Each structure stands twice: as structure tokens, then as C-alpha cells.
Chains A and B, each alone.
Chain A
Amino acid sequence: MDQTPTTDPTPGSPAGTGPTPAAAPTTASGTGTGATSVSNVATDVHHEARTTANTDAVLTVENLKMYFPVKSSGILRRTIGHVQAVDGVSFQLPTGGSLGLVGESGCGKSTTGRLVTRLYEPTGGSIEFDGRDIAHVSPRSLKPIRREIQMIFQDPYTSLNPRHSVGAIIGAPLAIHNILPKNKILPRVQELLEIVGLNPEHYNRYPHEFSGGQRQRIGIARALTLQPKVLVADEPVSALDVSIQAQVINLLQELQREFDIAFLFIAHDLAVVRHFCPEIAVMYLGKIVEIADRETLYSRPHHPYTQALLSAVPDVKQASVGGRRERIRLEGDVPSPVNPPSGCRFRTRCPMAQEICARVEPPLLQIGQRHKVACHFPGELGKAPDKPITARLLGVDDSGSADPSAGPATDLGNGPGFSDTWFDLDRKTMAKA
């Protein structure tokens, strides 16, 4: 890593002329069709998946749970149930890398983002940041952590205070954390405005004077103010017009390279996530069902939900063929997270669900170097195994009942990150890299 995360974007850095990153080997191979100052410097460096060693994870989330109580109506307001918004999610975020979280509305991806930023206190599990579990630290000791983990919100119209000038919005973190004396805040604000591609003279304007894309840039500048190590971007472009989305995505990629920020990128748009993140986790009803590097996930998905999700995305290239593509139709709606189905949560809509799926929850089993899937019948589309491959590992028979003849359940390494050994789907045994 050529830059430490604490590198200050001082005027001496190339940021002075707008966001042209220091090490930009791609500009040479650029095309000249580029549009803005931020457009063309796309990201070869970024595309190299920084996903090798597990040890350089900046953030490790393990078995994270968030249950929201459901209260009864009436005076007593007893708790009558829990919305299991996030239920046992584990992942690692590499330093300066990015992990995408995709899924449909209500799958818990935004809640996960809010747990990581500690806007919620999790019901269970741990969030390890910089070698320290921050899942339950007190509000007072959270303050220094907030400097390191920042968030970009979805809607740039509601996430900026309309009564505060842009300078006040972006400068607030500096004042709150007592980082700079008052007279130094304005120059820093102007510098940040320039980094995100806005006119530094506009610091005294108000949010309503900016367009949607510009407001999102303000939100990004605010998140950058404290030079965080981790940025949680919750649907950062979905509220923007198509032509503006690309501007913001390119800006985020450049900032990531320049300041070595790790991104937890939450979005429902599978194409955007694929473009941004070398590694992607698919969530369904509060759980990760599949996590893999982007090539594997998008070309060889092994979970039936991922397959259905990918097949549902309309494709521009279909125009040259005409008509609609064959797609996997999912029946019905997502079940209620208050009372999720037993066993595998996807089984109620899964085309290949069998008895075992209702009885035993499938573990998030590593089946490749950087590929985990939570399914009893994992396999590429149309090549799913006939028998549950997980049965023996879990110590049950093929229908999911406890099997005394089977050995004790194998340690499946359900933790965050990837291990060097995994379950080989062809040989049906554990294999080494």
C-alpha cells in the first residue's frame, strides 16, 4: 500500500486540481472521450481485487445480529416478537478494499450498514475494528471510532440540513472532534469541496442551491472530512439520475484509491455493485446466502437465490436479440422477518427445496478459494447435486433428521473471512488450495 490511510490531502497533493489521483497509471491509457475531470480516470488499480490475506482486514464482523422488538398495541406495549432484521452475518472488509452488500428491500443490508457504523447497537455478535470489538462500546468511547467509520446516505435531499450552509455541514465534524482551530476550518472545507469536484467558493451556499448529484458530493465531502478508514455507502447513487450516477461512482472509486478507504458498498443495483466491488455478499432475509469474488458470483453463482436475482436483471444487450430473456421466476413475496421460515430461509420460494431445507439451516460453506454459499444443494444453474452435500458435514441424513451413524458435525468454519481449506464440490471432501 503506497499511502497510509492517514495521509492528509494537503494542497501539496494532486488533489489541488480536482480529484486527479496521484498514482494514475490509467490516465495514460485513457481515451480522450472522458467527460469531466473525474470521469476518465477509471480504475485498473481498483479492479485488482484486494482480497488476498485475511489478516489485513480493517473490519471483521462476526455473527452479527439485530432484532428489533415488535410491540403490541395498547397501553402495556408488551414485546410480542422480534423482527430478525440481521441474523448471524459474518464478513471481513479488507483495508482499502470494498465489499458489496446486495439484496432486495428488507433483506437487512441497510441495517448491517447501520450496525457497522454503530448507529444501532447490535443484539448479538461482534464488530472488530482495529483489533477492538466495538459492538457494545459506550456512546462516549464511540466518538473517536466515529472518526474512522463514516457513512454516505442514499438520499441527498434529506441527509443534508437545509438550514445549514455547505461550509457548516462539511466543517461540523472538524469542530465536533476539535481537530482544527476555528480559523483553519474554512480552508479545509474548501479543500474538501475541491476534492469532490465542487467549486470551493460555494461554501456559503445552502443545499437547495445544488442539484442532486452535487448534493451527493457534499455528503461525500462530509464523510471524508475526518479521513475515515471505513466508509459505509448505503445506496449512494440510487436516488440520482442515470447520467449523474456514473459521475458519483467514478468519484468514489478515485477517492478510495487516493485515500485508501475501505468501502462497505450497499446497493440493490447488481450492476453498480459489480462495477464497484471486487467481492460481493448477497443477503436474503437477514442472512448472507452467498459471498464470493465478483467473477465467481456473477458468472457461476451457486445459490438458487443469487441465480434468480441475476436472471431478473434486465439486460441492455438483449436489444440485439429482441424479446425477453428466459428467467427464473420466483413465486410470492419475501416472508416476514418476524417469523422467518425454519431451516433455510429461502426454501419457501426455492425451486429445489426439499425436506432437509425445512429442517436444518444450511451453513455458509466455503466451496472455493473465495466463495461461500449457504445452500444444501449448491451448484451452478442446472447442475445442482441430487443429494444434500451438507448432510454428512452436519451429522444428519439426507432428509435432515439426526443421523446417529454419521460422525459429529464437522467444524465448518462459519466465521468471517476465508480459510485455506474448503469443501470441494466435485470430490465431496475438504480440499486445500
Chain B
Amino acid sequence: MVHFPTVDGVVKATDGLSFDLEKGKTLGIVGESGSGKSVSSSAILGLHRKTNAQVSGEILLDGVDLLQLSDEEMRLRRGKEVSMIFQDPLSAMHPYYTVGNQIGEAYLVHNKVSKKAARARAIEMLDRVGIPQPDRRVDDYPHQFSGGMRQRAMIAMGLINNPDLLIADEPTTALDVTVQAQILDLLQDLQREFNSAVIIITHDLGVVAEMVDDVLVMYAGRAVEYGPCKEILTHPEMPYTWGLLSSVPDVRGDVNAKLIPIPGNPPSLLDPPPGCMFHPRCTHRDKVPGDLCRTELPELLPGVSGSGHLKRCHLANPDEIYATEILPEIAPDMVEEK
């Protein structure tokens, strides 16, 4: 749980979120801006200041609860056991220091090595992430790198200590598709090599479909759907996930597919709606008897298709509604296959 007390009230940025992740596996966290994706990952890294954020619950990494650690203990783990790749590498890198300096620093801080060894290691990592002439480029400044190269350098920095967990916050959002494909390939190769667990935060369901093992869909600070990627993307059971799928055109889909946007805007986290957080924007709320959606927050429970697929919704027959009402609209070509 991450709450931010403000003068206007407590912002419940993340509320009752649970997930687990094995080594070598990838979790995708999906949701709109403000849904709590990035806040949760910052909590794992211990990046919330204690003065303005209340973080509760437990975050176990190899059996150690990161929330119980002192600042100093956390600092020893950050960048070594857990590290992060940010969305915009230009603002995440320091413009005054060379790329090699910044990559080497991560190594220098956590290992008792000389500056020379750190530099050598930085060159090795730059080479590993596919930067040409790494021994020369290591002395370049971030502005001398292209967007894709900067993101590669960020990945080199994140992986230099061979972390157990790598969090990638929108790692390819700022990049062009061909560069995005290169970076995703790279991330996947490196993950296999280092056997790290990876959390990818994104709003691009295409990236999710190709990269992750499990998907966690977040809305207004809560998990609304959680399960294996294939399950969630082919048989989604929560209207918000339907909305995400139906509001993005598919580059290889049917040209006659319609875009069905999610009406309205995400709710304020200061004053979240009662009942299901999504009900003001949900077009299926009247299918639930007794007005439950407006009054009662649904639990995150196993869905229709099995125990591995959790969803937070009152609808009794989401699979039928999806197959008969949503899919024919958004992907007419997929329906015929059945």
C-alpha cells in the first residue's frame, strides 16, 4: 500500500496490491497514467520519501522484507539486487557526466574495485548491450547518444551488477518502433543470460503480449485483473481490460474493427468512487443485480476460467459478454476462427 497524505486528503496511490514473481520470469503491469503502476515500482526500490509517503505491507525480495530495512541497508541493495530502467533516458541521465562514468558508478558503489576496473566493466556492458565502438563511446556524454543508444546505456547501467530484479518503467515508450524492437530483443536476451526477474511497466498491450509471462492490470491503485499473459489477453474478464483492448487499433487486425473508447476520465485518487472504482466508466454495470457495482468493492477473486486468473468484478458471466458483445466489435476476424 502506498498512500500520500496531502493537504486535500490522503491519495491512495496504491491500495492492497499483491503479486509475486519468480527468477527469470517477467511480469507486465498495465494501466493508465495515475493508476499506480510507477508508484508501486518506486516502492519496491524504496524511493518514496518517508516524510510524504506512507508505505505499508511487505515487499519480500529473496525472503528479505525491503520495507523493514534501514535506509543504509536499502541503499546497499538498490542498484545491486534491484535496479530500474526509466522511461526517458535523457532526463534519467546526468548531462554533466560521461555515460561511462555513470554506468561505472553503479559498479563502483557496490563493489570494491578501482575506477579503472569500473571503467573496463562499463565498456564491457556497453559492448554487451550492442553499442558500437564501446571503448570510444564510453567517454561520450548522454546528449551525444541517440535515443535508442541512451536506452541501451540505461539497460547497461541497470544490469551491471547482475540484479535479481529489474524494473523497467515504460522502457520503450519514447522510442520508435524499430528501436523499440531492438531494445525489447536486447532486454529479453539479457534476461535469459542473467536470469533476472523483470517487471515491465507499460501501457502498450502489444509489448505485454510479446514480452511477459504474467500480467497485472491496474486501475485507480488496485489490481483489477491478474494472471498469465495468454489468459488475460485472450479471455479478459474485467470490463476495464476490455476497454484497454478495444481502444487501441490493431496493426494487423480487421480494418473494419471499431474503436470503443472507455468513456470519461480516470477517477481522482483523493476521492475515489464508492463501490467498484471502475463503475462510473463501466458500460456493463447495470448487468449486475442489486446495484452492487455502485455500493460494494469487488474482491480480487478467481475468474470463470480458472484459479490462476484473478479479476476484480461483480459480473457473473464475463466470458460470455466478452465473446458475444466485445470481440465481434473489436476483432471480427478473431470471432470466425472459433
**What residues make up the interface of A, taking CB atoms closer than 8 Å to B?**
31, 33-36, 38-40, 42, 47, 104-105, 211, 213-214, 241-247, 249-250, 268, 270-272, 274-275, 294-295, 298, 308-320, 322-325, 327, 329-330, 332-333
Task: State whether A271 and B32 are in contact (beta carbons under 8 Å apart), knowing that A247-B261, A312-B177, A314-B184 are contacts in the complex.
Answer: no
- Interface flag for B91 (CB, 8 Å): no
CB of B181 within 8 A of CB of A329, answer yes
Q: Which residues of the other chain, A, contact B68 by a CB distance below 8 angstroms?
A: none
CB of B146 within 8 A of CB of A333, answer yes
CB of A246 within 8 A of CB of B251, answer no
Smallest Cβ-Cβ distance to A242: which chain B residue: B203
CB of B250 within 8 A of CB of A271, answer yes
Q: Tell me the residues in window 103-148 of chain B with beta carbons closer than 8 Å to chain A beta carbons.
A: 132, 146-148
Binds A, one of B11-19, B240-248, B293-301: B240-248
Binds A, one of B80-88, B158-166, B207-215, B310-318: B207-215
A-B contact pairs, 9 of them (CB 8 A): A33-B325, A35-B260, A40-B258, A246-B246, A247-B262, A271-B251, A275-B255, A316-B205, A324-B210
Interface centre among A214, A246, A270, A294 (most CB of B within 10 A): A246
Q: Which residues of the other chain, B, contact A245 by a CB distance below 8 angstroms?
A: 247-248, 261
Q: How far is the CB of B123 from chain A (nearest CB, A)?
A: 20
- Interface flag for B182 (CB, 8 Å): yes
Q: Which of B203, B208, B234, B249 contacts A320 (CB 8 A)?
A: B234
Alpha-carbon separation in the docked complex, A33 to B5 (Å): 38
Alpha-carbon separation in the docked complex, A115 to B46 (Å): 48
Q: Which residues of the other chain, A, contact B229 by a CB distance below 8 angstroms?
A: 319, 322
Q: Which residues of the other chain, B, contact A104 by a CB distance below 8 angstroms?
A: 176-179
Alpha-carbon separation in the docked complex, A40 to B266 (Å): 20
Q: Which residues of the other chain, B, contact A310 by a CB distance below 8 angstroms?
A: 251
Q: Which residues of the other chain, B, contact A33 by a CB distance below 8 angstroms?
A: 260, 283, 325-326, 329
Q: Which of B203, B209, B249 contacts A318 (CB 8 A)?
A: B209
Task: State whether A318 and B206 are in contact (beta carbons under 8 Å apart), knowing that A104-B177, A242-B32, A271-B248 are contacts in the complex.
Answer: yes
Interface centre among B147, B149, B249 (most CB of A within 10 A): B249
- Interface flag for B259 (CB, 8 Å): yes
CB of A319 within 8 A of CB of B233, answer yes
Task: State whether A316 and B326 are in contact (beta carbons under 8 Å apart), knowing that A35-B262, A47-B255, A333-B146 are contacts in the complex.
Answer: no
CB of B263 within 8 A of CB of A35, answer yes
Q: Which residues of the other chain, A, contact B180 by a CB distance below 8 angstroms?
A: 312, 314
CB of A42 within 8 A of CB of B258, answer yes
CB of A40 within 8 A of CB of B244, answer no
Task: State whether A35 and B261 are in contact (beta carbons under 8 Å apart), knowing that A315-B209, A319-B233 are contacts in the complex.
Answer: yes
CB of A319 within 8 A of CB of B230, answer yes
CB of B210 within 8 A of CB of A242, answer no
For B317-332 the 0/1 string (1 means CB < 8 A from A) is: 0000000011011000
CB of A316 within 8 A of CB of B243, answer no
CB of B177 within 8 A of CB of A324, answer no
Pick the 10 closest A-B CB pairs, nearest first.
A314-B206, A246-B261, A246-B247, A319-B233, A275-B249, A319-B209, A104-B176, A243-B262, A312-B181, A35-B263
Q: How far is the CB of A201 from chain B (nearest CB, A)?
A: 18
Q: Which residues of the other chain, B, contact A270 by a CB distance below 8 angstroms?
A: 177, 251
Task: State whether A315 and B248 are in contact (beta carbons under 8 Å apart), knowing that A250-B261, A333-B146 are contacts in the complex.
Answer: no
Q: Which residues of the other chain, A, contact B261 by a CB distance below 8 angstroms?
A: 35-36, 38-39, 243-247, 250
DSSP class of B's interface residues: helix, strand, loop or mixed? helix
**Chain B residues bordering chain A, tally (CB within 8 A):** 60
Alpha-carbon separation in the docked complex, A394 to B283 (Å): 60
Task: State whether A316 and B206 are in contact (beta carbons under 8 Å apart), knowing that A104-B177, A274-B249, A329-B181 are contacts in the complex.
Answer: yes
- Interface flag for B50 (CB, 8 Å): no
Q: How far is the CB of A134 from chain B (nearest CB, A)?
A: 31
For B184-225 the 0/1 string (1 means CB < 8 A from A) is: 110010000000000000011111111100000000000000
Q: Which residues of the other chain, A, contact B178 by a CB distance below 8 angstroms?
A: 104, 308-309, 312, 330
- Interface flag for B265 (CB, 8 Å): yes
- Interface flag for B307 (CB, 8 Å): no
- Interface flag for B49 (CB, 8 Å): no
Q: A242-B248, A270-B177 are in contact. List 14 more A-B contacts (CB 8 A).
A: A31-B328, A35-B260, A104-B179, A243-B32, A245-B247, A246-B246, A247-B262, A268-B176, A313-B206, A317-B209, A318-B206, A320-B234, A322-B230, A324-B188
CB of A246 within 8 A of CB of B248, answer yes
Q: How far is the CB of A245 from chain B (nearest CB, A)?
A: 6
Smallest Cβ-Cβ distance to B234: which chain A residue: A320
- Interface flag for B305 (CB, 8 Å): no
Alpha-carbon separation in the docked complex, A333 to B179 (Å): 8
Alpha-carbon separation in the docked complex, A275 to B257 (Å): 9
Q: How far is the CB of A321 from chain B (nearest CB, A)?
A: 8
- Interface flag for B57 (CB, 8 Å): no
CB of B230 within 8 A of CB of A317, answer no
Smallest Cβ-Cβ distance to B243: which chain A residue: A243
CB of B207 within 8 A of CB of A314, answer yes
Task: State whether A39 and B32 are in contact (beta carbons under 8 Å apart), knowing that A312-B178, A319-B233, A327-B181 are contacts in the complex.
Answer: no
Q: How far is the CB of B203 from chain A (nearest CB, A)?
A: 5
Q: How far is the CB of B204 from chain A (nearest CB, A)?
A: 7
Alpha-carbon separation in the docked complex, A53 to B145 (Å): 46
Alpha-carbon separation in the docked complex, A268 to B179 (Å): 13
